[in-house]
Amino acid sequence: MTESEEIVEIRRAVQALCAEFPGEYWRAKDAAREYPGEFVDALTRSGFLAALIPEEFGGSGLSLLAAAVIMEEIQAAGCNGASAHAQMYIMNTLLRYGSAEQKAKYLPGIASGELRLQAFGVSEPTSGTDTLSLRTVAVRDGDHYVVNGQKIWTSRAEHSDLMLLLARTTPRDQVASKTEGLSIFLVDMREVVGSGMTIKPIRTMMNHSTTEVFFDDMRIPASSLIGEEGKGFRYILSGMNAERILIAAECIGDAKWFIRKATDYAKERNVFGRAIGQNQGVQFPIARCYAQMRAAELMVHHAAEVYDRGGNPGEEANMAKMLASEASWAAADMCVQTHGGFGFAEEYDVERKFREARLYTVAPISTNLILSYISEHVLGLPRSY
Ligand SMILES: Cc1cc2nc3c(=O)[nH]c(=O)nc-3n(C[C@H](O)[C@H](O)[C@H](O)COP(=O)(O)OP(=O)(O)OC[C@H]3O[C@@H](n4cnc5c(N)ncnc54)[C@H](O)[C@@H]3O)c2cc1C
């Protein structure tokens, strides 16, 4: 695949930045469950996190393909883009549906790094994947909204200034279609943490800075509403293709890391007087993962290109996310197997990346829900839920 000079240059620049953050850095952060703030600051300073912000607001106005390549290279270098990826994909909602005032107020600060837009409050403990059943409510009160409810898995909330929040503004039994009555807010967290918003960290199997967020009569200005009241679900859906493509690109980067790591190790490790990689029983799983990764990579690039041409790549973005997350997980498992016992030793980074890579067949959307989308919306099979 021949890539444009711009893409090749982006790859080189991200690789150079990531080289400053080697395995030791990530291992220490992982052990302490600490946010990799230095890495996120470096990404911001370099302009990479503002790739999708138009130039008029201080960003670089790059394509989604370029943004996907940035995320891929971060993962392929052994770093963890989950510390910052939301800024890329949340951006889409603000860019597409935010008012001129909202864009002028927030985008330059986000582009410069003064403001972090890293928190995305959609998931709730009781509704799970069934987003339309969410229970957080926002009730209009003069020139404010009063928010009550709870979110879960709101990653990076402790390290973000802004949160994109999905809440119900009209009760479900008062709307014609169940997709209506939800609204999106851009919440300035600096004004509400400790006065209406409480954040509680959740410790997980990997270092992901995820949290539960509680809203208790949280008052936010009515100007926080993005677009029209009641249309929030539609806005969120339209941003999801970008999110899926970017996450899929991260999975491709992970798969590349695992494949390279396994290949190098298989060449170096000698058992029975020869390199383990001389055995086809060791070679074939690596080769199979490589083929699986390359096939998924084609779908990721194709989905990004459809998106960049202004199309609606619902089918392609979902398939890219499923295939890439499965390719990275297969490569993770293969990499542990290739390393034998050393796959479990922290200093090889394999076990850390293995834990990190496990997430993506579950979140931000699980494989079953993608299969359900393909069944219903692409193949025309009967709706199951
Ligand atoms: C580390 C981490 C970070 C996250 N970060 C964020 C974030 O920043 N913001 C945010 O809003 N959310 C976030 N999430 C939430 C994530 O998007 C959800 O966990 C994910 O979408 C799955 O939802 P759930 O956990 O409620 O699973 P459930 O909906 O309870 O589903 C459980 C299992 O059942 C399956 N299932 C459910 N319904 C069906 C069905 N009809 N047919 C077939 N199978 C079905 C699912 O595929 C899944 O495997 C994060 C999650 C994790 C673990």
Taking only the tens place, the pLDDT of each residue in 315-374 is 999 999 999 999 999 999 999 999 999 999 999 999 999 999 999 999 999 999 999 999
Does residue 272 line the site of ligand 1, with CB under 6 A? no
DSSP tag of 374: I
Local confidence band at 90 (pLDDT 50, 70, 90 cut-offs): confident
DSSP tag of 132: G
Distances (CA, A) of 305 to 39, 65, 181, 299, 364: 28, 7, 33, 10, 21
Q: Where are the beta strands (DSSP E) in the chain?
A: 117-121, 137-141, 144-152, 162-168, 182-188, 197-202, 210-221, 225-226, 270-271, 274-275
Question: According to the model, what pLDDT value does residue 51 have?
Answer: 95
Range scoring the smallest mean pLDDT among 83-87, 98-102, 196-200: 83-87
Residues with Cβ within 8 Å of 19's Cβ and at least 6 positions away in sequence, in order, are 77
Q: Separation of 321 CA from ligand 1 center, angstroms?
A: 14
Question: Partners of 219 in the beta sheet?
Answer: 146
Question: Hey, whose CA ends up nearest to atom 20 of ligand 1?
Answer: 363
Task: Calculate the CA 380 to chain-centre distance.
Answer: 29
Question: Hey, whose CA ends up nearest to atom 33 of ligand 1?
Answer: 366
Structural domains present in the chain: 5-116 (1.10.540.10), 119-231 (2.40.110.10), 234-378 (1.20.140.10)
Q: Separation of 86 CA from ligand 1 center, angstroms?
A: 16
Residue 40 scores a pLDDT above 80: yes
155 CA closest ligand 1 atom index:
8
Per-residue pLDDT tens over the stretch 219-237: 999 999 999 999 999 999 8
Neighbouring CB atoms inside 10 A of 80's CB total 24
125 CA closest ligand 1 atom index:
26
Local confidence band at 112 (pLDDT 50, 70, 90 cut-offs): very high
Q: How many residues does the chain have?
A: 385
Does residue 363 line the site of ligand 1, with CB under 6 A? yes
Residue 21 scores a pLDDT above 90: yes
Are the C-beta atoms of residues 116 and 87 closer than 8 Å to each other?
yes
- From 20, 186, 8, 179, select the one nearest 97 (Cα to Cα): 186
Q: State both tokens at 311.
A: 């199309």
- In which element (H, E) is residue 20 found? none
Question: Hey, whose CA ends up nearest to atom 36 of ligand 1?
Answer: 368
Q: Separation of 352 CA from ligand 1 center, angstroms?
A: 22
Tokens 């060791």 -> residue: 282
Question: Hey, whose CA ends up nearest to atom 13 of ligand 1?
Answer: 153
**pLDDT, mean of residues 54-71:** 96
Question: According to the model, what pLDDT value does residue 316 have?
Answer: 98
Residues with Cβ within 8 Å of 198's Cβ and at least 6 positions away in sequence, in order, are 213, 214, 216
Question: According to the model, what pLDDT value does residue 32 have?
Answer: 97
**pLDDT, mean of residues 155-167:** 97
204 CA closest ligand 1 atom index:
1
Q: What distance in Å separates the CA atoms of residue 227 and residue 212, rounded to the nearest whole number? A: 26
- In which element (H, E) is residue 153 found? none
Q: Separation of 301 CA from ligand 1 center, angstroms?
A: 25
Question: Hey, whose CA ends up nearest to atom 43 of ligand 1?
Answer: 368
**pTM above the 0.85 mark?**
yes
Per-residue pLDDT tens over the stretch 244-267: 999 999 999 999 999 999 999 999
- From 195, 185, 220, 196, select the one nearest 94 (Cα to Cα): 185
Question: According to the model, what pLDDT value does residue 1 have?
Answer: 64
Q: Separation of 324 CA from ligand 1 center, angstroms?
A: 18
Local confidence band at 178 (pLDDT 50, 70, 90 cut-offs): confident
The pLDDT mean for the chain works out to 96
